[in-house]
Amino acid sequence: MKQIEISDFGGPEQLQVREAAEPAVGPGEVLVRVAFAGLNPLDHKLRDGSSGKASHLTMPAVLGRELSGTVIGAAEDVDLEALAMPVGTAVFGMRAMDDWRGTYSEVVAIPAGCLAPVRALPTGVPDTAAVPDADALAPWGGLALAGLTALIAVRDCARVSRGDTVLIHGGAGGVGQMLIPLAREAGAAQIWATGRAENAARIRELGAEAIAYDEQDWEVVLDEATAGRGADVILDTHYFATFAPSLEHLADGGRIVVLPTLADLSPAKDRGIEAHIPQLEVSRERLDHLAAGLESGAIDVEIAQILPMDQIADGHRILESGHSRGKLLLDLRGENPQAPGKRAARSEA
């Protein structure tokens, strides 16, 4: 099989497509033939070594956190039928935050609890097919990381509930586009979301009132809209320029959730304001929740671009620019993918 590796920290040129042996599954793991892997800002920060999490990597390292693909086997202790993921099932998921093996690979071994079936696609594929309805798996490759981040922020941290007013900083970003529908699902009565004027239509399409921060003062707009009361919940994907002023625009008893993991929450806590940073945890229940949303149309994954393996460096350059709206995906299907259903992987345990 092929995978994309880095041998040292550095620029996009460090990303190289190389041949590798298929991974062996450990206890509790499933073998997946990957169709698409999502590209995320964390990827380039791991590649250049600027993320504190880069210390977890062992060279040569494979990057990537999320994927969609097809089950092709499992360890002996995994009951795929009981999990509704028999061989041939389309699945999506994400590596847990303590698993740094990456997803830029044509085949991966991943714990069963980090996957969920894509029920909208048929189970059991013909021998001539690499994945069921392969192109339809593309948005699923970019769902898990942003979706889980948004779900935990809305449901577990902010506890958005019926009647709440919500302000989202960065409504057109990858996570922001998940925050809007999930806040609406939770019962928010009114949602405002900031973004550039060119993204206002997308924000409205997702179900929020757009505040074009390059044309309007979001603080003035929010004050006028709430008669000075402020928002019950602020979900801040930006932090640096927005966190401090946001504290002045929370209603009594309001909550603020900040997405950057290194954010300093002390200015909020010193004032007695409830503030959180989501801790990303993968679970089947959460993945199933996201799957139901995507299948029903309540959640939408906007795809900016799908790149072949040999253009991965270009993908990282786009990530670093910060100018891509929508999801960047890596197509890992290859030219001659092997059909699933021929074998089951066995555990080394």
Does pLDDT of 194 surpass 60? yes
How confident is the model over 169-188, as a mean pLDDT? 95
| Distance (Å, whole) CA 310 – CA 36 | 14
Does pLDDT of 131 surpass 70? no
Burial class (CB in 10 A: 0-12, 13-18, 19+), 228: exposed
Does pLDDT of 115 surpass 90? yes
Token pair belonging to 71: 């089950």
Model confidence over 289-318: pLDDT tens digits? 999 999 999 999 999 999 999 999 999 999
3-state secondary structure of 300: coil
How confident is the model over 191-210, as a mean pLDDT? 96
More confident residue, 333 or 121: 333
Does pLDDT of 70 surpass 90? yes
| Distance (Å, whole) CA 328 – CA 313 | 12
Model confidence over 211-257: pLDDT tens digits? 999 999 999 999 999 999 999 999 999 999 999 999 999 999 999 99
Residue 133 is predicted with a pLDDT of 58
**Residue 122 — very low, low, confident or very high, per pLDDT cuts 50/70/90?**
low
Model confidence over 72-96: pLDDT tens digits? 999 999 999 999 999 999 999 999 9
What is the residue-averaged pLDDT of the chain?
91
Residue 134: partners with Cβ closer than 8 Å, 6 or more residues away: 35, 333
Handedness of CA 28, 67, 84, 347 (dihedral sign): negative
**Residue 134 — very low, low, confident or very high, per pLDDT cuts 50/70/90?**
low
CB 130 within 8 A of CB 29: no
| Distance (Å, whole) CA 189 – CA 100 | 40
| Distance (Å, whole) CA 89 – CA 72 | 8
**Domains defined for the chain, CATH in brackets:** 2-143+301-331 (3.90.180.10), 160-276 (3.40.50.720)
CB 214 within 8 A of CB 186: no
Residue 47: partners with Cβ closer than 8 Å, 6 or more residues away: 6, 9, 10, 12, 14, 15, 63, 316
CA 274 → CA 2, 155, 158, 271, distances in Å?
47, 15, 9, 9
Does pLDDT of 189 surpass 70? yes
Residue 348 is predicted with a pLDDT of 36
**Residue 52 — very low, low, confident or very high, per pLDDT cuts 50/70/90?**
confident
Residue 334 is predicted with a pLDDT of 79
Beta bridge partners of 168: 193, 235
Q: What secondary structure letter does DSSP report for 201?
A: H
Burial class (CB in 10 A: 0-12, 13-18, 19+), 126: exposed
CB 62 within 8 A of CB 101: yes
Give the number of other CB atoms < 10 A from CB of residue 81. Answer: 9
Helix/strand/coil (H, E, C) string of 32-95? EEEEEEEECHHHHHHHCCCCHHHHHCCCCEECCCEEEEEEEEECCCCCCCCCCCCCCCEEEEEC
Q: What region does 117 belong to: left with phi over 0, alpha with psi -120 to 50, or beta?
A: beta
Among residues of the chain, what percentage have pLDDT more than 70? 91
Model confidence over 143-160: pLDDT tens digits? 999 999 999 999 999 999
